[in-house]
Homo-oligomer: A and B are copies of this chain.
Amino acid sequence: MRPTLQAVAEAVGVSRSTVSNAYSRPDQLSAALRERILDAARQLGYPGPNPTARSLRRGFVGSIGVLFTSQLSYAFTDPFAVRFLAGVGGAAERHGTSMLLVPLPPAQTDARRAVENAAVDGFCVYCAADEEWALDVIRERGLPFVTTAAREDAGPDDRFVGIDERAAAHRIAAHVAGLGHRRVALLADAVLPDASTGPVTLAGADEVWHPTTRDRLAGFADAFAEVGVDWGKLTLVSAAGNSRVAGVAAVAGLFDMPAPPTAVLAGSDVLALGVLDALAQRPGNTNPPVSVTGFDDIPEAATAGLTTVRQPAEEKGRIAAELLLDPPTDPAAGHVLLPTALIVRSSTGPVPRS
């Protein structure tokens, strides 16, 4: 048995309160007594107050949870998510708070349990595809939370940090449309809940599963509608995951079709890089160049010359954590819209004359 605070109290011959004070409120006792207590504790091998017991009594834990839709291991694979985490981590660090990464098991029930059981004082919910249930659990627990995707049912007290996905998507799509592209493919992850790969047919962008993906695709579609290319004329391609290889796999065969797309708008940089990989791997590689765009502006995008939308990743994480840790008094300040920028690089160009 590890010694408890009680044991230390007995050893020194004082009450438990006094030992507790020696640790948590040093001003409540004489320095001499405090030293005596701390010495005794050292001698007994008492490691200080048990964190769990302390949390129970105090009513807070000192750590915030980060919730990902996808597998935790996936999160570390996505450069954007990693930089978001770095931002959260920095803020947590400054606050003396730990971050709990909560993996969500595949089964709905287990996932619920995971959120119910997380010992945290609040949650950063990183754009979950199907997050309603998670938010319900969090609300039921009475914990504060911050989301990174705008929500229709957001209450006045709900905190949010993110970008105007649809407007940003519109902007980059308008750039591509302005270059003359009309035969265009839209590539995204989480179009349907079933992670299918390759071209899929949907009646409209509003049927897309993942809210962020939905907004981005809607923004793309907006811009093309303005030049007379409506949803039905766009090729929608689903990727089975947000990764480079998923991007490669998704566009397999796409450019061998009759009248292949002259441009691919991807919902993320990693997918777009996958498209560039796929194009580079094409035998002969003598085809007319295809324009490709991404989203996020991860570091690799610059190297690859990818035209993309930049959003501040670390800042997003930092603000999410700060919104959680220092709730603004003014509820309006709890809704932060970050700026985005269209970054034009070499991956987009005018439609080649065929």
Contact = CB atoms under 8 A, between A and B. Distances in A.
Given A47-B141, A110-B96, A141-B47, A89 B116 contact: no
Interface in A115-162: 116-119, 137, 140-142
Nearest to A95: B103
A32 interface: no
Contact of A118 (B83, B98, B113, B117): B98
A55 interface: yes
A76 B72 contact: no
Contacts of A54: 117
A275 interface: no
A114 B96 contact: yes
Nearest to A55: B52
A120 to B, nearest CB: 8
A116 B48 contact: yes
Interface string A82-106: 1101110110110011111111010
A73 interface: yes
A140 B86 contact: no
Contacts of A2: 141-142
B71 A93 contact: yes
Given A45-B140, A98-B101, A63 B119 contact: yes
Interface string A206-226: 000000000000000000000
17 contacts: A45-B140, A46-B140, A47-B141, A51-B118, A53-B56, A71-B89, A71-B90, A71-B93, A73-B93, A75-B89, A76-B83, A89-B101, A93-B105, A97-B103, A99-B100, A99-B101, A303-B303
A289 interface: no
Contact of A72 (B47, B93, B117): B93
Interface of A: 2, 45-56, 61-63, 71-73, 75-77, 82-83, 85-87, 89-90, 92-93, 96-103, 105, 110, 113-114, 116-119, 137, 140-142, 303
B100 A73 contact: no
**Stoichiometry (number of copies):** 2
Most B CB contacts (10 A, CB to CB) among A72, A99, A105 go to: A72
Contacts of A72: 89-90, 92-93, 99
Contact of A98 (B83, B102, B110): B102
A337 to B, nearest CB: 24
A105 B95 CA distance: 9
B86 A73 contact: yes
A110 B97 CA distance: 12
A2 B100 CA distance: 23
A100 B103 contact: no
Contacts of A117: 48, 51, 54, 62
Nearest to A90: B73
Task: Give the 9 A-B residue pairs with the shortest CB-CB distance, closest first.
Answer: A76-B86, A73-B90, A93-B103, A72-B89, A47-B140, A47-B141, A48-B116, A51-B119, A52-B56
A118 B51 CA distance: 6
Nearest to A103: B93
Nearest to A75: B89
Nearest to A65: B98
